[in-house]
Amino acid sequence: MKRTSIIVLASAAFALPPVVNAQVAGSSLLGIEATELRAVTTGWSAKRQVLGKSVFNENNERIGVVDDVVIAPDKAVSYAIIGAGGFLGVAKHDVAIPVSQFRAADGKFFLDGATRQALQQMPAFEYAR
C-alpha cells in the first residue's frame, strides 16, 4: 500500500510541467548581479568572521565575545552585542557597543580603553519582545 502511494505521488510530480525561473537581465527583483557578488565576497561574514569571536582591549586582554550584531533600519550594522560576563550562560551580561568604537587588527577585534569590569557595569542589553 505504501509503495503504491509513493509511486502515484512520484508519477503525479513528474507529470506536472516544470517550473522554470530563469533570470532575465534587469527584470529580477531578487538576488544580485555578478559585479555585486564580487563586492560581497570581499566583505565580512558575520557568521564566519564576527560572531563568537573574542574582543580584546589594547592590552590584548580578552574582555568579551561578539554574540550578535544589530542592523539598523537604514541597513547599516550599528551595534555589536558583547557577552561580557557569566559562565556557560549563567549570570550572562550582554552589552551593546557601537561598531564605530571597535578596531580590527591582526584578525582580532579590539575595544580600546575597555575592561571586563567596565563592560559588566554597563546597562545590560535585552532584546525587545
pTM: 0.65
- The H or E element containing residue 95 is strand 94-98
Angle at 33 between CA 29 and CA 36, to 5 degrees: 115
Residue 113, C-alpha cell as written in the block: 580603553
Measured CA to CA, the distance from residue 110 to residue 112 in angstroms comes to 6
pLDDT of 52 reads: 92
- Residue extents of the structural domains in the chain: 2-39, 45-121
pLDDT of 53 reads: 94
Measured CA to CA, the distance from residue 54 to residue 82 in angstroms comes to 9
Model pLDDT for residues 17-52, shown as the tens digit of each residue:
454 455 555 555 567 677 776 666 667 777 778 899
116-123: average pLDDT = 92
Measured CA to CA, the distance from residue 68 to residue 85 in angstroms comes to 15
The answer to whether 121 and 93 are in contact (CB under 8 A) is no
Model pLDDT for residues 55-104, shown as the tens digit of each residue:
999 999 999 999 999 988 888 888 999 998 766 556 778 999 999 999 99
Q: What is the distance in angstroms between the CA of the first residue and the CA of the last residue of the chain?
A: 48
Fold of 45-121: SH3 type barrels. (2.30.30)
pLDDT at 15 over 70: no
